[in-house]
Structure 1
């Protein structure tokens, strides 16, 4: 059994990467444990496969490790010789260094191992043969293999070896890269080295950032050609004080597709959650997003923008773009939901002064919870925030004051009118006070944010297209009149309504009692149906015979009935009815009884 098999057995039996590792502090169900162990086993299997592949390539000579073939070996160039030395040092686990490096005299290179080791390698350029030749070599080592330090293990060299893997796995975690290098090359590296490897492989695959951002103009032109109604607005900065003038520098990019804009205007409530998140590249920047709620109470991305940061200028520019594309006007009838970032507050005030601006209750609770902890206080916070009327709001606030007066003062200091349901404007017809939609979108694109501009925007576009198609297919399969989530919510409300007693007070006023609580409210009186002028009010739904022309059953003439008929002959010739015939028949004669005979006497 070789070392690699022993390592595999160690991993599968136990250890830091096996089944004995702690996955989470909270208790997990059996199904979650199975899923976690399966995921770890697949991760270990992938690492072993990659490491074995690299070792097979080294054994087959695909890595070009030919430095041990003897004196006189030729190389096409000095760099090819250096590359062969690097691969030899890495695969053999030797910390080799260059003690001679002279580019002026025959491009000489001398290689040695650690101090006290007999290994030596010397090569130079031969002008007569136009090739780089190994002149002298001593390949026997008197030192031990080194797994912690190898100066020839460069990030660019490793990036070349794992380039195919990096192309298939652009989000390859640094922890797995460290483990793969350890298994394949027997060298222990730090996580920082793994990030350098990821950067080098990314640069090999996608080129430099100057070339990348030079393609932004073409990308915008392609989007506008395929969707003329979409808005893609680019903002650049040019330094005019320099001569010659440098190329423009990217600053912001706003994107709002025509389909998303039309869907929000026609089919969504006028609620917009805005938020910003970090871009996880070495260039930095922020992604500003505006997310609505669709008919199924799920996220509906409206627009997003890449900006230099979350400042007053960027947010005000973002709200201006939203206002122009969605036709928001001065914000009347629109609700903006955000955190308490001052740049967002200033942007909404300047661009949409008449919009209702709500604050994330979850964000306020996070600040309030830093000082006032405990499950009981947490429960009271959300009871107050989710109270639908002033009576419940005041009652819950008084309960909180009895528990902790300081917590009550801190709660009211955050201006409850901005995050409590009891103070919301009913024009928008939405009781949203949390940041669920914006946070959901940020989590939805968390892996996408690790890519550079064009790749990130294209992946967001493709993922949203796929999401909209799936949602449309789900709604086609839905058999209920309402959306699935709304139907579930309605069924819950029906179960609660079964415990309510409703007593009408007038046509539009009703008294609703639930246990010890009573509520008097107005109901929609509706409109009565327009009745037919000949409809009988005592028999709704049945028409009277008013206006109909009658026919006489005696003379068969129109305009009168049988009672008022003046033609008796027709009446006499008419056959008798069954009742009349029975009455006209003579009664049969019976002999008198003894009682009748005595009564006559």
Structure 2
């Protein structure tokens, strides 16, 4: 109701008391006036102005046998001066009024809300109220976080129904999970995916290596050589070099199962020899705009982004005129005939 003072009239009906209260609220925010309830129930609502000298009042009641509310008596015009100091603007009202902004752009900032309310209603909204309004609006647009988690069971069942064999052990065997070796994450993976192979990102492993006091380019070179070695012989050479440099560093690294960080000892079920989780970092950046959304909305967002990406790649391949991809063509040229 953009101009409620022009639309409210005697015998005007509302769906229920809630719609009437919303109209009453919009009226007084638009006019920069205030009101108070003399009576406020599901059957009858009487409102008046807090200024006893003001002539404004309104009586609305439910129609017998219905939920419909109707205005029965009113003196619509306020005779008191307008003021924004006692405004009825609230976070909930702001969220409802400006929800459309977040539907258009979920990254809308609080300053947009503050400026819009000042321009249209002359009300200076505090930042804390604008933050609350933003959170309420985003929740309305994206859905409540807690309410979406139970839906994951439905998603999981759909995956199981459409892709038999999915689960901890997939169609091609157990999954491999690479992490940054955080204690809480390790415990969670062991509890939820006890049969999955694990790998540790070398970059994060080296950060831990430094944190316990093993620093220097020589130690890093030995660690890199051990991790990147494709066979056990070269791995042992690198580890012996590390032991010569620092017995303590060798003991620390030896205590970590080599199958989690040394390339030559990786499980062969996972067809990649990567020792760092750069792919995960790139993917995290790729989904930056959706990963903070509620879980179901996030999953749908990632699915949509992937579908668009795959379609674009398929169309690109259709238009390609090469038999071997450019990347590998360059590598073959470097090797020569």
- TM-score, normalised to structure 2, is 0.66
Q: 1:132–1:201: structure 2 CA closer, same or farther, 3 Å change rule?
A: farther
Equivalent pair of 2:159/2:166 in contact (CA under 8 Å):
no
Of 379, 390, 398 in structure 1, the residue corresponding to residue 235 of structure 2 is 390
Partner SS, residue 351 of structure 1: coil
Is residue 2:80 matched to residue 1:140? yes
Partner of 1:164: 100
Deviation at 1:479, TM superposition (A): 5.1
With a CA cutoff of 8 Å and minimum separation of 6, indicate the structure with the bigger relative contact order.
Answer: 2
Give distance in 1, aligned partners of 2:307 and 2:253.
42
Give distance in 1, aligned partners of 2:39 and 2:74.
14
Is residue 2:291 matched to residue 1:433? no
Deviation at 1:124, TM superposition (A): 2.0
Deviation at 1:172, TM superposition (A): 4.0
Partner of 2:132: 192
Equivalent pair of 1:67/1:85 in contact (CA under 8 Å):
no
Equivalent pair of 1:385/1:419 in contact (CA under 8 Å):
no
Partner SS, residue 132 of structure 2: helix
Cα distance per residue 1:233-252 (max 9 Å; x no partner):
42xxxxxxxxxxxxxxxxxx
Partner of 1:123: 58
CA RMSD of aligned residues (A): 4.9
Is residue 2:29 matched to residue 1:90? yes
Q: 1:180–1:416: structure 2 CA closer, same or farther, 3 Å change rule?
A: farther
Equivalent pair of 1:119/1:141 in contact (CA under 8 Å):
no
Pairing of 1:496-575 with structure 2 (within 5 A): none
Give distance in 1, aligned partners of 2:199 and 2:162.
26
Equivalent pair of 1:100/1:111 in contact (CA under 8 Å):
no
Cα distance per residue 1:474-499 (max 9 Å; x no partner):
344555554344455666x75xx9xx
Give distance in 2, aligned partners of 1:108 and 1:477.
71
Give distance in 1, aligned partners of 2:286 and 2:172.
27
Partner of 2:203: 362
Pairing of 1:58-69 with structure 2 (within 5 A): 63-66=2-5
Give distance in 1, aligned partners of 2:206 and 2:124.
48
Partner of 2:304: 462
- TM-score, normalised to structure 1, is 0.41
Equivalent pair of 1:156/1:201 in contact (CA under 8 Å):
no
Partner SS, residue 49 of structure 2: strand
Partner of 1:154: 90
Cα distance per residue 1:337-373 (max 9 Å; x no partner):
445413424565x536xx6x42222342344444559
Give distance in 2, aligned partners of 1:390 and 1:343.
30
Partner SS, residue 74 of structure 2: strand
Cα distance per residue 1:178-228 (max 9 Å; x no partner):
55445544332321232123334556xx9x959x979x99xx7xxxxxxxx
Partner of 1:109: 47
Equivalent pair of 2:47/2:58 in contact (CA under 8 Å):
yes
Give distance in 2, aligned partners of 1:469 and 1:451.
24
Normalized per residue, the structure richer in helix is 2
Partner of 1:59: none
Equivalent pair of 1:335/1:358 in contact (CA under 8 Å):
yes
**Unaligned residue ranges in structure 1 (runs of 5+):** 1-61, 221-231, 235-252, 262-318, 498-601
User: How many residues are paired up?
Assistant: 315
Give distance in 1, aligned partners of 2:43 and 2:307.
62
Deviation at 1:473, TM superposition (A): 3.2
Q: 1:482–1:342: structure 2 CA closer, same or farther, 3 Å change rule?
A: farther
Pairing of 1:275-354 with structure 2 (within 5 A): 321-323=167-169, 325-328=170-173, 337-340=178-181, 341-345=186-190, 350-351=194-195
Equivalent pair of 2:178/2:200 in contact (CA under 8 Å):
yes
Q: 1:347–1:484: structure 2 CA closer, same or farther, 3 Å change rule?
A: farther
- The structure number with the bigger radius of gyration is 1
Equivalent pair of 1:100/1:108 in contact (CA under 8 Å):
yes
Partner SS, residue 5 of structure 2: coil
Deviation at 1:66, TM superposition (A): 0.5
Partner SS, residue 199 of structure 2: strand
